[in-house]
Amino acid sequence: MRTGRLSAATARRERAEGSFSGGFSWAMARDLRLAWRHPDEAVLTVAFFALVASLFPLGIGAEPQLLTRIGPGVIWVGALLAAFLALPGIFAADYLDGSLEQMTLSPHPALGWAAGKIAAHWIVSGLPLTLLSPLIGLQYGLAPDTLAVQALSLLVGTPVLSLLGGACAALALGARGGGMLLALLALPLFVPVLIFGAGAAEAQATGLSPTPHLSLLAAALIAALVGLPWAVGAAVRIAVD
Amino acid sequence: MNWFYFASPATFYGLAGRLAPWFFILAAVLAAWGLYLGLGVAPTDAQQGEVYRVIFIHVPTAWMSMFLYFVMACYCGLTLVFNTRLSAMMARAIAPTGAMFTFIALWTGSFWGRPTWGTYWVWDARLTSELVLLFLYFGYIALANAFEDPRRGDRAAALLALIGVVNLPIIYFSVQWWNTLHQGSSVSFKGTSMHVTMLTGMLVMSFSAWMYAIGATLVRVRAVILERERRAQWVRNLPEAA
């Protein structure tokens, strides 16, 4: 019966050859540890989301019916913008101090550590947004079932945003134009996710089934998980070459 | 036979210069014939009257906007796989023409929508995805020009174009997948419900737009080649360089 421990030979081989899981777990652990030590980014992302969600009732008017009607969409837009603003932080610091170049030289495939960085970014930005969304939804007077579907749509949709946004952030590393360029690259790609995510919550709110929207979101997530980590790795290699 | 003779910017520059005028002439002739068919010969539509005639501009430009993005994405794929300079230059040359056709499609579509649907714009699936296509073209152009090193811009924008190509099936199938205000497709490989002169006029205009796009791309790629290869000896030896 095999135990859970690697034999010495396997361990040596894993270290020398690198592997997807090795790269993934290393990068995710590293980024999570860094985020834990400097939680500003995560806290700011959530604070931005809450602030943006507060602006709409103040700007448009706080009638309960209006808020319930616009709630799902506004919450999704707020989460999308907050996720977008967190994007430069995935690669910027590592790019500036040369760690990113070192990562491209590692024996682990770029697919692995790129996926690990994106996963850590989602845990630090997308997941807190998802967990906070029911609270914001209560501010908009959404019903409990709508809140649940809203949170589910964010849970499925924000990883797609992190993957797409991560690819765009890697492509725009060191480019002139900074944040505006990243907006031009990432926001058109975010549009389908927004349409289906907000559509799911609105469908639930109006009594229709959210399943079609959630299914398409899940399909987008699977496609993104399959294709985009490779694209992120390729984009980083383009950036550091 | 050396299939890659024209894969070098130096040789392709001359070929593009010789070919471009022919494509423009062909585009002009086809446009004249197509507009004659569309504005002169095709009958008045039973439901829309004369306003439907905008399809002779709207549909060809919409088809070309999607087709040019696909061609650009193919060149981007070649850039990433073979690392050839000329593939990237061709992709850069196609992008502005593609963006222009997308804009014209949206603009003419708006003016068609006002009398027929009552509104200039609606956020349905087809219009929204075509608008996203316009932003994808802009994003490509912006990213390609955002770096000091043009080769880095080539490769980064190439990867972006390939990520964005997923939008093309969404645009194409949007009228089937969603309940949209935009009408469904009237033309398919199995046949069409349109009157034959309307269809002919539309197809002739589409070929005209295609020929124009090729001509414009060839002229633009010559400019891109000159800009990028300006320090090469063959550029300095050109008669225009004197």
Segment A133-157, tens digit of pLDDT? 999 999 999 999 999 999 999 999 9
Q: Which of A38, A167, A45 is nearest to A115 (CA)?
A: A167
Quick check: A188 and B139 CB within 8 A?
Answer: yes
How far apart are the CA of A101 and the nearest CA of chain B, in angstroms?
Answer: 15
Residue A12 has pLDDT above 70, yes or no: no
Q: B79, B123, B129, B143: which to substitute to probe chain A, counting the most A Cβ within 10 Å?
A: B143
- The minimal CB distance from A238 to the residues B139, B155, B167 is found for B155
Quick check: B163 and A164 CB within 8 A?
Answer: yes
Question: Which residues of chain A neighbour B152 with C-beta distances below 8 Å?
Answer: 238-239, 241
pLDDT of residue A11: 64
Quick check: B128 and A176 CB within 8 A?
Answer: no
Up-side HSE of residue B21: CA atoms within 13 Å toward CB?
Answer: 3
How far apart are the CA of A29 and the nearest CA of chain B, in angstroms?
Answer: 28
Query: What is the average pLDDT value for chain B, to the nearest integer?
Result: 90
Question: Which residues of chain A neighbour B143 with C-beta distances below 8 Å?
Answer: 171-172, 175, 181, 185
Residue B202 within any structural domain of the chain: yes
How far apart are the CA of B221 and the nearest CA of chain A, in angstroms?
Answer: 23
Residue B33 has pLDDT above 90, yes or no: yes
Torsion of CA A199, B134, A86, A61, to 10 degrees: -50
CB of B150 closer than 8 Å to CB of B164? no
ipTM of the complex: 0.85
Q: Is the pTM of this model over 0.80?
A: yes
CB of B131 closer than 8 Å to CB of B176? no
Question: What is the per-residue burial (b if ≥16 Cβ within 10 Å, else e) of A30-57?
Answer: bbbeebeeeeebbebbbebbbebbeebb
pLDDT of residue B52: 83
Residue B180 within any structural domain of the chain: yes
pLDDT of residue A13: 60
Residue B141 within any structural domain of the chain: yes
Interval B40-70: pLDDT, tens: 888 887 777 888 888 899 999 999 999 999 9
Quick check: B156 and A228 CB within 8 A?
Answer: no
Which of the two residues, B50 and A196, has the higher pLDDT score?
A196
Quick check: B164 and A188 CB within 8 A?
Answer: yes
- The minimal CB distance from A185 to the residues B80, B152, B160 is found for B160
Question: Which residues of chain B neighbour A238 with C-beta distances below 8 Å?
Answer: 152, 155-156, 159
User: How many CB pairs below 8 Å do chains A and B form together?
Assistant: 61
Q: B76, B132, B151: which to substitute to probe chain A, counting the most A Cβ within 10 Å?
A: B132
CB of A37 closer than 8 Å to CB of A45? no
Which range, of A146-150, B37-41, B85-89, B223-227, averages the lowest pLDDT?
A: B37-41
**Backbone phi, psi, residue B188, to 5°:** -145, 180
Tokens of B114: 């006002």
Residue B114 has pLDDT above 90, yes or no: no
- The minimal CB distance from A171 to the residues B80, B128, B159 is found for B159
Split at pLDDT 50, 70, 90, the class of A174 is confident
Quick check: A191 and B160 CB within 8 A?
Answer: no
Q: What is the CB neighbour count within 10 angstroms for residue A14?
A: 15
Q: Which of B175, B142, B8, B160 is nearest to B69 (CA)?
A: B160
Angle, CA of A223, A224 and A229, to the nearest 5°: 125
Question: What is the per-residue burial (b if ≥16 Cβ within 10 Å, else e) of A98-122?
Answer: eebeebeeeebbbbbbbbbbbbbbb
pLDDT of residue B189: 63
Split at pLDDT 50, 70, 90, the class of A62 is confident
How far apart are the CA of A69 and the nearest CA of chain B, in angstroms?
Answer: 17
Residue A38 has pLDDT above 80, yes or no: yes
Query: What range does the domain containing B159 cover?
Result: 53-234
Question: Which residues of chain B neighbour A223 with C-beta distances below 8 Å?
Answer: 166
Task: Dihedral sign for Cα A95, A98, A104, A108, please.
Answer: negative
Question: Which residues of chain B neighbour A177 with C-beta distances below 8 Å?
Answer: 142, 146
- The minimal CB distance from B146 to the residues A164, A176, A241 is found for A176
Q: B124, B166, B179, B180: which to substitute to probe chain A, counting the most A Cβ within 10 Å?
A: B166
